[in-house]
Structure 1
Amino acid sequence: MSDIKEAGFKSSDIIAALAAVFDGYNDEEKKAQIKKTNGIFELRLKNAEGKEGIWTIDLKTTGSVYKGAAKSKPNVTILMSDETFQDLAAGKTDGQKAFMTGKLKTKGNMMFATKLDGVLKAAKTKAKL
């Protein structure tokens, strides 16, 4: 799990917790989450120093979270700051508001990006983030 964390990114703790939740799913839960979401999110986060961290949430094939660019073409690439991702995960802001205010940008299927909120909420209840 420690290979998911990135120094200088507070979001990496949240992403590591998300990965732990996915790893803790039994096959049935994993299949249900994959069926419900059916896609790949690539997260590109910029920290306060301007450094970029990349993580992938694969809910199309493996039902896993890993550090680095998506191994297969992501449905959507989401670009935002480390701080914005923390606010999203904590439920302090929603994706649409972040998008409308320019705090969140997408490349690819913008409508698919709206599913990230649901993925974060499902994992949050399981992980107590």
Structure 2
Amino acid sequence: MASSDLKSAALLDQMKTHFSTDAGKALIKKIGLVYQINLAPKKMGFNEEIYVVDLKKGEVTKGPYEGGKPDATFSFTDEDFYKIATGKMNPQIAFMRGKMKVKGSLSAAQKFTPDIFPKPSKM
């Protein structure tokens, strides 16, 4: 994956490793959906970096999804995505406040919860 200035990029990198663990494999079995995440450094819709979190194959890749349509596509700023992924912001509240935009299946989108992210290592 090309390096990125986004805080969230490191988090998405950790997800790759997470998918190879037993907990990660259980998630893939349970969810089995493909998410595209559009991350903007400052303002949604501008200079976005696009990532695909594939919970069918257990992969995280940079760039738009090429296997048809993702089940759901999310748009965030880097900061808001980071807060949601680390459990500091509730996804429903983020959505209601317009900090997260969703396209595609809402039922698929509802399975995209902070639980799918690896927990930050506690020291």
User: TM-score band, normalised by the shorter chain?
Assistant: 0.7 to 0.9
C-alpha spacing 1:63/1:81, structure 2 compared with 1 (3 Å):
same
Match of 1:65 in 2: 60
1:40 pairs with 2:37: no
TM-score by length of 1: 0.81
Identity %: 33
Query: How far does residue 4 in structure 1 lie from its aligned partner after superposition?
Result: 5.2
Which 5+ residue runs of structure 1 have no aligned equivalent?
Answer: none
**Which whole-Å CA distance do the structure 1 matches of 2:108 and 2:91 have between them?**
11
Across the two proteins, how many residue pairs are aligned to each other? 118
- Higher relative helix content: 1
C-alpha spacing 1:5/1:116, structure 2 compared with 1 (3 Å):
farther
Write the mapping of 1:29-108 to structure 2, written as runs, cut at 5 A. Answer: 30=25, 32-48=26-42, 50-60=46-56, 62-72=57-67, 73-108=69-104
| Structure 1 residues 33-92: Cα deviation after superposition (integer angstroms, max 9, x where no partner) | 2221110010001002742100011012x1111111112221000011101111011111
CA RMSD of aligned residues (A): 2.0
C-alpha spacing 1:4/1:41, structure 2 compared with 1 (3 Å):
farther
Q: Which of 19, 22, 38 is residue 16 of structure 2 equivalent to?
A: 19
Contact 1:9 1:82 in 2 (8 A): yes
Contact 2:16 2:58 in 1 (8 A): no
Partner amino acid for 2:72?
Answer: V
Q: Secondary structure at the match of 2:112?
A: helix
